[in-house]
Structure 1
Amino acid sequence: MGNTEWAWTGHASLEADTAGYKVHRMLGDGTYGSVLRAQNKQTGELVAIKKMKKKYYSWDECMALREVRSLRKLTHPHIVKLREVIREADELHLVRLYMYQTIMALDFMHKHGYFHRDLKPENLLVTRDLLKLADFGLAREIRSRPPFTDYVSTRWYRAPEVLLRNPSYNSPVDLWAAGGIMAELYTGRPLFPGSSESDEIYKICTVIGTPTSEVGVVRLLALYSGAEQTWSRQRRTEGVNFMLAVLAWDPSRRLTARQCLSHPFFADHTAALQRQIATAIASMPSTTPLL
């Protein structure tokens, strides 16, 4: 590859190009990582990228690796040159990014007097880092007088009060659905895939316990420990605590969308999330108003 330089990234994936580089093909695959032939999108320069198979959840973890430390110190014509270290977004960050935007959309809706009633993954449209809530065919005004239709939302994301035919349900049904979606983002499978309304209630009880039970924390922690062993306990617990706060049997005990935005799962990352969203919005093509 001639005067090829070396870029290093802390995540192994061939599904998308690494930031700033166009991946051409794999050159080799080893125990700890894959080596890719790539090209700098701006300069056209060819590089070799080593993509690590292990995930690293902090910049410090990436920079502390012996391979990175040694290559940063060794400069010689016959030793590969380390050009840069790239840390790609991990799954936990993407879950946080998408859920933050979902909750912001719900907060705006609820503040303006509407609730969605059909929140599900198919109604969340994602382009790069930007998420938009769609399909308002079942939306109702919060101040509308009940009874409301009892057959709303896809069963797997339907709140208990709807399953139990409470005609006075309201905006908390959207937060229940958001909790189910977040769980699905983590694991890649629905949290409550009931085959009927009664089976749906059974599956809810299986995961978070009965309305008077307090075993939900234990069960959800066990579920997500199996999903990703490399999360730190603190990060895993923050996510689980958030889900439990919106997956409460009693709708009056669920966090509101506004309260969700202040939850520790989001609160310590708000500035970074808002910057990333602003960048995504700025990069989107402009649209022409219908009127």
Structure 2
Amino acid sequence: MKMQSLRDGNYYACKQMKQHFESIEQVNNLREIQALRRLNPHPNILTLHEVVFDRKSGSLALMCELMDMNIYELIRGRRHPLSEKKIMHYMYQLCKSLDHMHRNGIFHRDVKPENILVKQDVLKLGDFGSCRSVYSKQPYTEYISTRWYRAPECLLTDGFYTYKMDLWSAGCVFYEIASLQPLFPGVNELDQISKIHDVIGTPCQKTLTKFKQSRAMSFDFPFKKGSGIPLLTTNLSPQCLSLLHAMVAYDPDDRIAAHQALQHPYFQVQRAAETQTLANHRRAFFPKCSTVPELPRHNWPFSKEGRKQQPLRQEEGHTRRQGPASLMELPKLRLSGVSRLSSCSSPTLRSVLGTAANARVPVLRPLKCAGVNKKTDTQKDIKPHLKQYHLPTINRKGGGY
């Protein structure tokens, strides 16, 4: 729902939870709230502004920033595809959101056009209700993610998949943005596998053996070469196809990671523009510092050994930031008498996202109401009777769920 705040008059997107909650501890343990608090703030992650919990009724609502539309609404009914520059801009932001999320030990599990929001050419990933921790113990839920964007390891194993499934889904979204057509529109689980094999062919025996080890029921597929990714649009350049093929690699060990995708030659223009923007900001704040660190270069394409990814570690997302070279180190203070402060441990909540996630989650406290009839000065200026806008649900043809 689209809501207006009586506090500041701004509009927000309100996500009302169907589940009823008994306590604040249960609310704070909700996986989606913990994920949004850990990932915020980030320019490509939907911002969570407030959590509204009514103890009496047990209702819970998340107040997030209001976006213009999602990717599906953007491409629905279009006769001509988006420009290659805009596609590149959107996919670069999507890869940045996935990289930030994976470095913080979370993978989304439901990346699709409906969960990718756009406002003034700024792309943000939302709806973290299905997310899980990278460090949580397998197997996971089998029937996760929307069918059209579900990775092969999710279809052929009993819940043994990793964060690489988000890259497969992003590759399917990549093709759909460029061609305005879904890449693998399966009508059921078996047809979904058949659609994948029709395009990229059946996997090698090594990959099938790997999947069979984590499956109670055995399976075999007749050999099929695959017709290749259909070129329904002329917007797909060779570099674009190279990144797309790397995203939809059948074997998750051979699939590209988000931090590797950001260094792909397809995003060379985006990286150059981002570096120039950072340089302009640095010159504005630090005129004496004129040097800009260069991004590490990667040789493409990757070899088979180079594409194999080890499990992400939480320390990767907490790199030290080096300050400008012109800043001087402050002198140490010399105090005559120094008293050592006793450390006071603040109450923290037990994370449901995994045992290896060490990030602290802030405690949600109930709102204190001074009185029902009392209004602040800002509330008196705003009309009390506001209409609620109900956004219509989008019924997508072709199943896909």
Q: Counterpart in 2 of 1:241?
A: 242
Label 1:276 to 1:95 Cα distance change in 2 as closer, same or farther (>3 A): farther
Cα displacement (A) at 1:169: 0.5
- 1:121 alignment counterpart: 113
Name the SS for the 2:123 alignment partner: strand
Give the root-mean-square deviation of aligned CA atoms.
2.9
Point out the structure with max Rg over C-alpha: 2
> Where does residue 168 of structure 2 map in the other structure?
176
Does structure 2 conserve the Cα–Cα contact (< 8 Å) formed by 1:97 and 1:273? Answer: no
- 8 Å CA contact 1:180–1:190 kept in 2: the answer is yes
Aligned position for 2:233: 227
SS of residue matched to 1:96: helix
Letter in structure 2 aligned against 1:118: D
The answer as to 2:272 corresponding to 1:263 is no
CA 1:195/1:136 → structure 2, altered by over 3 Å: closer, same or farther? Answer: same
Deviations 1:38-61 (A, max 9, x none): xxxxxxxxxxxxxxxxx9xxxxxx
What is the CA distance between 1:269 and its match in structure 2?
A: 3.2
> Identity of counterpart residues, as a percentage?
43
Report which stretch shifted further, 205-214 or 117-126: 205-214
Deviation at 1:128, TM superposition (A): 1.5
> Which residue in the other structure is 2:155 paired with?
163
Task: Decide whether aligned partners of structure 1 residues 214 and 206 sit closer, same or farther in structure 2, where only a CA change above 3 A counts.
Answer: closer
The correspondence of residues 145-160 of structure 1 with structure 2, limited to 5 A, is 145-160=137-152
Paired residues of 1:238 and 1:264 also in contact (CA < 8 A):
yes
Q: Indicate the structure with greater helix content.
A: 1
The DSSP-based 3-state class of the residue aligned with 2:118 is: strand
One-letter amino acid of the structure 2 residue matched with residue 254 of structure 1: R
Give 3-state SS (helix, strand or coil) of 2:253's partner. helix
Structure 1 letter corresponding to 2:228: R
**One-letter identity of the residue aligned with 2:242:** N
The reply on whether 1:141 has 2:142 as its aligned counterpart is no
More strand as a share of residues: 1
**CA distance, structure 2, for counterparts of residue 131 and residue 274 of structure 1:** 19
Is residue 119–residue 153 contact of structure 1 (8 Å, CA) maintained in 2?
yes
After superposition, the Cα gap between the structure-2 partners of 1:199 and 1:94, relative to the gap in structure 1 and judged at 3 Å, is same
Partner of residue 191, structure 1: 183
Kindly tell me the number of residue pairs found equivalent between the two proteins.
185
> How far apart are residue 165 of structure 1 and its match?
2.6
> Shift of the alpha carbon at 1:271?
2.3
* 1:271 maps to amino acid: A
Deviation of the 1:214 alpha carbon: 10
Superposed CA deviations along residues 236-258 of structure 1, whole A, max 9, x for unmatched, are: 11111101101011101111100
Cα distance in 2 for partners of 1:96, 1:214 equals: 32
Structure having greater relative contact order (Cα 8 Å, sep ≥ 6): 2
Are the structure 2 counterparts of residues 98 and 274 from structure 1 closer, same or farther at C-alpha, using a change threshold of 3 Å?
Answer: farther
- Counting only pairs closer than 5 Å after superposition, residues 1-291 of structure 1 correspond to structure 2 as 91-212=83-204, 219-220=228-229, 223-224=230-231, 226-228=232-234, 231=235, 236-272=237-273
CA distance in 2, matches of 1:253, 1:259: 12
Q: For structure 1, which runs of at least 5 residues remain unmatched after alignment?
A: 1-54, 56-88, 278-289
Contact 1:172 1:254 (C-alpha < 8 Å) held by counterparts: yes
**C-alpha spacing 1:105/1:96, structure 2 compared with 1 (3 Å):** same
Residues 198, 224 of structure 2: 8 Å contact kept? no
8 Å Cα contact 2:82/2:177 also seen in 1 = no
| Structure 1 residue 120: Cα displacement | 0.2
Q: 2:82·2:178 contact (CA, 8 Å) conserved in 1?
A: no
Q: Deviations over 1:193-241 (max 9, x none)?
A: 000011011111111111138966x722xx22x422xx5xxx6111111
> 1:273 and 1:215, CA in 2 relative to 1: closer, same or farther beyond 3 A?
farther
Query: What SS does the aligned partner of 1:125 have?
Result: strand
The Cα shift of 1:167 comes to 2.1
Amino acid across the alignment from 2:155: L
